[in-house]
């Protein structure tokens, strides 16, 4: 009887199908490479200097120190122009796993600069990475003449080797100096992408939930006005569905611990689970859920070097209104109930 129960539990588990079509196999391969090699490597890069120091690798440390001093301004100066890493086929396969798809609702003028607001943050922001970080969704063909840079925390550029990987994707610091350097450049057709909700919004990333940390996030609007960059609202349907998160309602003990960690370290620590490497039941890999990234029409912004609070508030209100309209217009198409509303907090 016991053997039968064990056998039944094992047969109930949905295992990885090794005989699946080639396109699914390569997508899974890309997922495993990212979460088994590249992502852990980027995390371990934080301790790389200590490992090299205590193992006596002085030459490597010295050479990297010289390079870092030479290149230290790149995260604030638009990243690297030759984004070789973002064009690898591996990233297209990665996007195929979910799949991530990019949808355009309006043309963008390559003689104008733009500031994209990406929502929601989700756990990893795979839609932002795939569409605007990697060229996994043919963004160069969809928006011809536009060059994208995604913003990330300045602290992500402090780890050796990891900073070069991020810069090779075209990532830049999320500082006002960095954003203004790109959007005030003589080159037109530049677009800076900001995942506005940040770490706070990651704690709201539950499947089927559409809550954005946006009501009091106005810094990105100020940067758009100061540079004259048109604002573009972006909503990624399915971004919150690729992981399940342990319930953490406002006021709960878990939420208080997570918010304390965010305040102290600048990052949130959502307790998540998805699928495993060899089975679909439980693990740390993201689940295969469609992520549809819908890019709205640009909101025209007039340049003011020192915008007033009233101007910022007015444009911020228009931005939230247009984002809500974008959500309402497309939600049914991507499986969201007609009764569901976008929540701003």
Tell me the average pLDDT across 288-296.
97
Q: Which of 22-26, 65-69, 112-116, 241-245 has the lowest mean pLDDT?
A: 22-26
Tell me the average pLDDT across 21-39.
87
Which of 182, 184, 298 is closest to 230 using CA atoms?
A: 298
Pairing state of beta strands 100-104 and 291-295?
A: parallel
The domains of the chain, with CATH numbers, are: 21-344 (3.40.1130)
Question: Is the per-residue pLDDT at 293 higher than 70?
Answer: yes
Each residue's pLDDT tens digit, 211-265: 999 999 999 999 999 999 999 999 999 999 999 999 999 889 999 998 888 887 7
Q: What is the pLDDT of residue 47?
A: 87
Rounded CA-CA distance 316/140 in Å is 28
Mean pLDDT of the chain: 90
Question: Are 318 and 232 within 8 A, CB to CB?
Answer: no
Cβ atoms < 10 Å from Cβ of 95: 24
Tell me the average pLDDT across 189-197.
96
> Strand pairing partners for 147?
190
pLDDT-derived band of residue 2, with 50, 70 and 90 as boundaries? Answer: very low
Tell me the average pLDDT across 106-133.
96
Peptide bond into 99 cis (omega under 30): yes
């Amino acid at each position: 009887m016991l053997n039968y129960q064990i056998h039944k539990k094992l047969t109930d588990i949905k295992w990885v199908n090794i005989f699946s079509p080639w396109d699914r196999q390569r997508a899974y391969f890309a997922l495993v490479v990212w979460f088994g090699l590249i992502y852990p490597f980027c995390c371990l890069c934080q301790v790389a200097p200590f490992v090299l120091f205590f193992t006596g690798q002085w030459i490597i440390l010295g050479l990297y120190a010289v390079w870092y001093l030479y290149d230290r301004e790149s995260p604030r100066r638009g990243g690297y122009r030759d984004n070789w890493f973002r064009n690898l086929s591996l990233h297209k396969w990665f996007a195929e796993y979910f799949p991530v798809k990019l949808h355009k609702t309006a043309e963008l003028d390559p003689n104008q600069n733009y500031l994209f607001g990406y929502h929601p943050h989700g756990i990893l922001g795979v839609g932002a990475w795939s569409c605007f970080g990697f060229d996994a969704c043919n963004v160069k063909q969809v928006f011809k003449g536009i060059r994208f840079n995604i913003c990330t925390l300045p602290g992500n550029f402090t780890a050796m080797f990891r900073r070069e990987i991020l810069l090779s994707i075209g990532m830049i610091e999320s500082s006002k100096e960095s954003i203004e350097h790109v959007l005030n450049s003589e080159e037109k057709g530049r677009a800076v992408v900001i995942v506005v909700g940040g770490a706070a919004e990651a704690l709201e990333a539950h499947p089927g939930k559409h809550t954005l940390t946006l009501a009091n996030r106005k810094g990105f609007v100020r940067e758009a006005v100061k540079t004259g960059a048109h604002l573009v609202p972006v909503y990624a349907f399915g971004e919150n569905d690729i992981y399940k998160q342990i319930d953490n309602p406002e006021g709960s003990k878990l939420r208080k611990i997570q918010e304390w960690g965010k305040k102290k370290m600048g990052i949130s620590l959502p307790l998540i689970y998805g699928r495993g490497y060899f089975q679909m039941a439980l693990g740390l890999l993201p689940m295969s859920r469609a992520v549809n990234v819908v890019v709205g029409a640009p909101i025209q912004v007039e340049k003011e070097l020192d915008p007033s609070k009233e101007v910022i508030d007015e444009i911020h209100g228009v931005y939230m209104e247009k984002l809500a309209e974008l959500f309402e217009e497309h939600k049914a198409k991507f499986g969201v109930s007609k009764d569901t509303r976008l929540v701003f907090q």
